[in-house]
Structure 1
Amino acid sequence: MRRNAVVAERPGRLGDVLALRRLTVPEPPGAGEVDVRMLAATLNPSDVVTVSGAYGSRTTFPFTPGFEGVGVIERVGSGVPDRAIGRRVLPIGSAGNWQEVKRADHSWCVPVPDDITDTMACFAYINPLTALLMVRRHCSGPVRNVAITAATSTIAGHLAELLALRGVRPIGLTRGTPGRTVADPRLWATVIDTGESAWPERFREAASEEGVDVVLDCVGGAQGAVLMRELSPGGMLVHYGLLSGEPLPPECFAGRAGRRVEMFRLRDTVHTYARERLPELFSPVFERLRAGRLRSRVVEELPLTRLPEALRGGSGGGPGKTLISCTR
């Protein structure tokens, strides 16, 4: 069986290294495996970072990117019940969603409830689950002031939404990209442009004398040192991304006044979770999607077969998400 797949042929920028290929799906699925006919996928910063070659120790080129997507099981290997055929699932745990048919271990396939649409399901994994887990772990109890970097990003909107349910309006930090604004200004105490020279003073004023209890940071770099200094004693900076491309400075790890850095990696959480309990992990995400929360704004829809061409032309760089249709 042959299928279309978008392949990263070597490390580099997405627009430079992707190609559409016709690949063969081995016959048949092995023990415990399934073939998932992909319906839709999307593009995340994790795809960009992986294709760049940043995770060289666990990435072999060429490979098919795509950590997030939804599909339907169409073939099963031995040990997988026939009733799994026709079930919509999120095939997580590995890249490979940028193709028409993904071979996956059945234990990594999370069933999608019937009342969750394909588009909702496509975006149910990386941003919503990360936001939900970080707020639960690090923003419960007597947390009063929270700051969020990259405040115009989709995940920052999810974080602000979840914090609002706890009575917390966070301080947002942006990099001043023209045309980029937070999704719902009502959820934020204030939003500060770090491109302004006086932004540390503005941040200090917003934090007040109490300081900030938690910083949720996906930027890294020198900005992290400024934010650490404004943490209240015993406060934490939760570091879950590196949009700046620069690590946090060593001073962030000095532990002054009990301030600390906590690392959050969704991959670590998911890969240490018992496979049979993965549906339980996703259940709170599906509940919030039903309630109209944790939704992702789709700004463009691209057929899988046009994805390399579109990325060479600059698609995928604006606010909101790209929906990749694997059936067109």
Structure 2
Amino acid sequence: MLAAVADAPGRLAEAVAVREVEAPPAPGAGEVVVRMVASTVNPSDAVTVSGAYGSRTTFPLVPGFEGVGVIEAAGPGVPPGAVGLRVLPLGSAGAWQQYKRLAYAWCVPVPDDLPDEVACFAYVNPLTAVTMAERFCGPGVRRVVVTAAASAIGGQLAELLAGRGIAPVGIVRGTPGRTVAEPSRWRAVITSDDPGWRERLRAETGPGGADVVLDCVGGDVGGAVHALTARSGVFAHYGLLSGTPLPAECFTGRGARVELFRLRDVVRPTGGRHLPALFAPVFEHLRHGRLGTVVARRVGLSKLAAHLGSPAAAEPGKTLIALQG
């Protein structure tokens, strides 16, 4: 079968090559083999391939944490009728290959009314957005700041918060051609490259500061936003797009509480048994046209390595990988 493989840590464009590899063996007890249909490229793939998680990453590695496929073979102990089910195969990387072997417990059945190109994107961003909105933005929360507001998950967070009657303040970097989705959902959008952006944020959040910050940037921008978060507030840190950790002073206990949100901690506690219930609200949103993902380009698996090294890979929108192409 074809697979995209990183033999050693590095940048996606340099580390990943597509080649023929051995197909997975027959599934063992409680296991299935999934014929992958579609996957996508996420920042988490780039971070993992970079070697940032050295203690839990082994090379050679097939990247890909998100995708959809069909169960083609099942081992002993798998429920009757599993073969033929369309599923999200979670719990590990490995979506950038034509067949993936894994425990059936990590397969989330996909509703029949969700197309592959919608279901493919149900995991990383929508599940993160739904979980964080539920966890951090309950009753009484009004002043919310979202960093990387022009990102796909930034738009999804704004959509969910609008349903709660909250118009967040968005922080963007000011990259040419990038802007927030649905500007009407935002109280204000502030560019961190502009002089005086901190003063403008202070004016938007008021003298008490933000109740909640949803931050996936870190670095100096994250540190500056943390300083403008209410002492009684929550700074939810769930990503590191800047590549630089939050300043040490964010963790001294003298400011807002920093909560590190990791999606893997949400999906792993019961070994996959709670996943159908966890995804139910995500599927419901997707079914009603919410939390959508803009697909900017489609590439076959055989062309993926070339795509990762092209300028198109840096353009706005997501890449849909056709795994059988």
TM-score, normalized by length of structure 2?
A: 0.98
Equivalent residue, structure 2, for 1:171:
169
Q: Name the residue aligned to 2:30.
A: 32
Corresponding residue number in structure 1 for 2:307: 310
Q: CA deviation at 1:205?
A: 1.1
Partner Cα separation in structure 1 for residue 25 and residue 207 of structure 2: 65
Give the Cα separation in 1 of the matches to 2:253 and 2:164: 28
**Does the CA contact (< 8 Å) of 2:24 and 2:33 recur in 1?**
no
Cα deviation 1:270-289 (Å, max 9, x = unaligned):
11145222101000000001
Contact kept, 8 Å, 2:24 with 2:100, in 1: the verdict is: no
Q: CA deviation at 1:156?
A: 0.6
Deviations 1:174-233 (A, max 9, x none): 011110000110110010000012110111111123421011000001222221221123
Question: Aligned to 1:237, what secondary structure does the other structure show?
Answer: strand
Alignment partner of 2:282 out of 276, 281, 285: 285
Of 295, 299, 312 in structure 2, the residue corresponding to residue 298 of structure 1 is 295
- What is the aligned length? 325
In structure 1, what is the equivalent of residue 123 of structure 2? 125
Q: Distance in 2 between matches of 1:59 and 1:256?
A: 35
Name 1:89's counterpart in structure 2: 87
Letter paired with 1:276: R
Q: Which stretch has the larger CA shift, 272-281 or 134-143? A: 272-281
- Which whole-Å CA distance do the structure 1 matches of 2:226 and 2:24 have between them? 51
After superposition, give the CA deviation of every residue in 1:60-89 in whole Å (9 maximum; x if it has no partner).
111100000000000111111341011000
Stretch moving more, 23-32 or 50-59: 23-32
1:195 aligns with 2:181: no
One-letter amino acid of the counterpart of residue 66, structure 1:
G
> What are the residue-to-residue correspondences of 1:146-295 with 2, within 5 Å?
146-256=144-254, 259-273=256-270, 275-295=272-292
Preserved contact between residue 211 and residue 231 of structure 1 (Cα < 8 Å): yes
Tell me the equivalent position of 2:134: 136
The alignment partner of 1:222 has SS state of helix
1:325 and 1:26 map into 2 onto residues whose CA distance is: 19
Point out where structure 2 has 5 or more consecutive residues left out of the alignment: none
CA distance in 2, matches of 1:122, 1:152: 21
RMSD over aligned CA atoms reads 1.1
| Aligned residue number for residue 107 of structure 2 | 109
User: How much has 1:309 moved relative to structure 2?
Assistant: 1.0
| Aligned counterparts of 1:114 and 1:159: Cα–Cα separation in 2 | 26
TM-score by length of 1: 0.97
What is the identity, as a one-letter code, of the residue corresponding to 1:309? A
Deviation at 1:25, TM superposition (A): 2.1
The 10-residue stretch of structure 1 (217-226 or 108-117) with the greater mean CA deviation from structure 2: 217-226
Cα offset for 1:54? Answer: 0.3
- Secondary structure of the 1:73 match is strand
Do residues 319 (structure 1) and 316 (structure 2) align? Answer: yes
Instruction: Answer whether contact 1:15 1:314 (CA < 8 A) is retained.
Output: no
Deviations 1:127-177 (A, max 9, x none): 000000001000102001000000000001110000000000000000111
Paired amino acid for 1:294: L
| Aligned-partner SS, 2:119 | helix
SS in structure 2 of the partner of residue 287 of structure 1: helix
Question: SS of the residue aligned with 2:274?
Answer: helix
Q: Which runs of 4+ in 1 moved over 3 A?
A: none
SS at match of 2:204: helix
Identity of aligned residues (%): 57
Checking the alignment, whether the CA contact within 8 Å between 2:40 and 2:67 is kept in structure 1 is yes
2:20 aligns with 22
Q: Which residue of 1 aligns with 2:43?
A: 45
1:29, distance to aligned residue in structure 2 (A): 1.1
**CA distance in structure 1 between the partners assigned to 2:315 and 2:212 by the alignment:** 28
Contiguous gaps of at least 5 residues in structure 1 = none
- 2 CA distance for matches of 1:69 and 1:27? 21
